[in-house]
Amino acid sequence: MRSWIYLLTAIFFEVVGTTSMKFATEYAPLLGYLLMYVLIGLSYFFLALAVKRVPVGVAYALWEGIGIVLITAVSVAWLGESLGLAKALGLAVMIVGILLIKFGTRAEPVARGQEAAA
């Protein structure tokens, strides 16, 4: 369970870090880029923690896919970008693909003595 929390944390930092790029270019380049690099670094750090227990393909697909969907939602809601039919359809297909990857991956059995680490 802890690995899934790490993955959600990685996704959060990726979304905030990527969103901060827009603000960095418009308002405070030096501080904005520094913040962006720190947040993206934290995202990779938590992704690395997550892949200790979550299969890499699943973790990366969820990290990148959910991140893209959330970044698009943020860009439409707060940054005034448009969401056309083609982009919405692409996001829907991506979500279906993420779900297929997640549900198509079998969980590995936990070895004795490792239950507490999970």
* 116: pLDDT strictly greater than 80: no
The count of other CB atoms within 10 Å of the CB of residue 89 is 10
CA 91 – CA 55 distance, rounded (Å): 23
Q: Where are the domains of the chain?
A: 2-103
CB 72, CB 83: distance < 8 Å: yes
What pLDDT digit, counting tens, does each position of 26-52 carry? 888 888 889 999 999 999 999 999 999
- pLDDT band at 24; cut points 50, 70, 90: confident
pLDDT on residue 103: 83
HSE-CB of 54 using CA atoms within 13 angstroms: 26
User: If you average pLDDT over residues 1-13, what whole number do you get?
Assistant: 96
pTM of the model: 0.80
pLDDT score for 48: 97
93-115: buried (b, 16+ CB within 10 Å) or exposed (e) per residue?
Answer: ebeeebeebeeeeeeeeeeeeee
**66-103 pLDDT, tens digit each:** 999 999 999 999 988 999 999 999 999 988 988 888 78
pLDDT band at 17 (very low <50, low <70, confident <90, very high): very high
The confidence score (pLDDT) of residue 107 equals: 61
